[in-house]
A and B are shown apart, each in its own frame.
Chain A
């Protein structure tokens, strides 16, 4: 496989991996998040939060993927970039690392959202709605 072909294949594989990782994390948290979101105050807020969760995990993963640039100080042209296989592999590693990091930030963000939901569900309704859901 030539370096150019490797670049094309690995780029789209990494893009697919970003989406797949975002979806896997979403599937891991989906049910428990839906349970918490149901306790959110307001009529449309629970369904809005549930619909936002997949976007809030897949988009950061994609953002992490595209945030890595192949151009660097010593390699600015396309020819210089595809010249070294080692450089391309290192960039792929950087992309995957960035995808995981951005998903990590997204998970921490959703943790904060859940904290706020629980705070308002708890304090705002004196726990009555939460108790019903728990039963």
Chain B
């Protein structure tokens, strides 16, 4: 029970770290891009917050769905494999939704006039 909980908490910590790092890395450039594209400050705030939500929701929805319901006599590596399986699902979902968000932002930039062009 303790091993299961520990494995789940480690998986949860890694799954939360990945979107946090991704957001911190991308935020300055995304902020600049949105500021140059949108005239409305509320729009910039909305898309930045949405990006953060998308990252966390995607990662957590996959991570929490991972069940560590293994046999009582399971070995250490079985928990590691299960954790890796959960992390794989989490990363896959995060990347898919980052891709969807990227397409959305590309459409947004392509559709709206760029401030600098005016």
Contact = CB atoms under 8 A, between A and B. Distances in A.
Nearest to B104: A111
Given A32-B49, A108-B54, A118 B60 contact: no
A130 B38 CA distance: 9
Nearest to B97: A104
Range, interface on chain B: 20 to 34
Contacts of B61: 97-98, 100-101, 104
Interface of A: 25, 28-29, 31-36, 38-39, 86-87, 89-90, 93-94, 96-98, 100-101, 103-104, 107-108, 110-112, 114-115, 118-119, 121-122, 127, 130-131, 133-134
Given A107-B54, A114-B47, A134 B112 contact: no
Contacts of B62: 97
A126 B97 CA distance: 32
Contacts of B100: 108
Contacts of B54: 104, 107-108
A35 B47 contact: no
A134 B69 CA distance: 53
Nearest to A24: B53
Contact of B113 (A33, A114, A115, A127): A127
Interface in B5-53: 38-43, 45-47, 49-50, 53
B65, B107, B108, B113 pick with most chain A CB within 10 angstroms:
B65
A36 B39 contact: no
B58 interface: yes
Given A97-B62, A115-B111, A107 B43 contact: no
17 contacts: A29-B50, A32-B46, A33-B46, A34-B42, A35-B45, A35-B46, A36-B42, A90-B67, A93-B66, A93-B67, A97-B65, A107-B54, A115-B104, A118-B38, A122-B113, A130-B39, A133-B42
B91 interface: no
Contacts of B113: 122, 127
Nearest to B53: A107
A38 B46 CA distance: 13
B40 A118 contact: yes
Interface in B66-86: 66-67, 69
